[in-house]
Amino acid sequence: MQNQRIKLMQRNSIVLMALALITLSTLPAAPARAVEQEGGVRLMVGVPRGEFDDSLDNESFGVELHYGVRPATGWTFGVGGNIMSYGSESRRYSHPLVDDYEIETSNNMAAGFLFAQWRPLQGAVQPYLEARAGLRYLWTESKIKDDDWWDWDEEVARKTNFDDSATFYGGSVGMLIQLKDSDQGRKQPGVFLDAKVSLVQGGEAEYLAEGDIEIVNDRPVFEPRKSNTDMTTYQLGVVLTF
């Protein structure tokens, strides 16, 4: 009797499973979710921290770009890059056989990075947390410009005097504020105001700053500085979503 009851329960279970499979097979398939994309551009101000601040003591200004994809709600992964200038100086020279000319020296840094961003809220206001890691390149270059007023800013020659690189990692806190909703039918992107603050831990690098190049007996003498490259950056820009 017990065995018959067990066999009956097994048979009923098999029938129910078969009915469930048949029912699921007749349901319409859910449409595949399109992977959302975005691109952004921001103006940025970089403030050195720690020994980088002690050594440099100068803010940097530049621009940052990024491209990201959103494979799941709340998560964005992508790549980005930025370029900043942290100082420049000019020297004017005269020579009896040529026109007056000017040598302009600039100190710059550029970075490429990967990032992951988490947005817990969806809507008109979207706060987020971001993690990033990448490589920063620092370089100092000089260029000769013609000093004639009718040939203003004519570049004659350019040379990189000193360069180095360092890895970095860090995190950001930011907020997206919706300015315009996307319209897929008209292929119009959504527009967001993007504001963020990033803390970056940078590796050790050698670099030049203002006043670190002297001309001795017509030859340049470099006095590089060396430190970690920690920074805080403040950014404001626009993000387009597709």
Q: Which pLDDT score, from 0 to 100, does residue 16 have?
A: 47
Per-residue pLDDT tens digits for 127-141: 999 999 999 999 999
Q: Which pLDDT score, from 0 to 100, does residue 47 have?
A: 97
Residue 33 has pLDDT above 70, yes or no: no
Residue 226 is which amino acid?
K
- What is the share, in percent, of the chain residues with pLDDT greater than 90? 61
Residue 149 has pLDDT above 60, yes or no: no
Q: What single string gives the DSSP state of each residue in 68-126?
A: EEEEETTEEEEEEEEEEEEEEEEEEEEETTEEEEEEEEEEEEEEEEEEEEE----SSEE
Nearest by Cα to 82 from 37, 130, 158, 137: 137
Note the pTM of the prediction, 2 decimals: 0.80
Residue 51 is which amino acid?
E
Confidence of residue 30 (pLDDT cuts 50, 70, 90): very low
Q: Which pLDDT score, from 0 to 100, does residue 6 have?
A: 44
Confidence of residue 75 (pLDDT cuts 50, 70, 90): very high
Q: What angle do CA 173, 83, 222 make, to 5 degrees?
A: 120
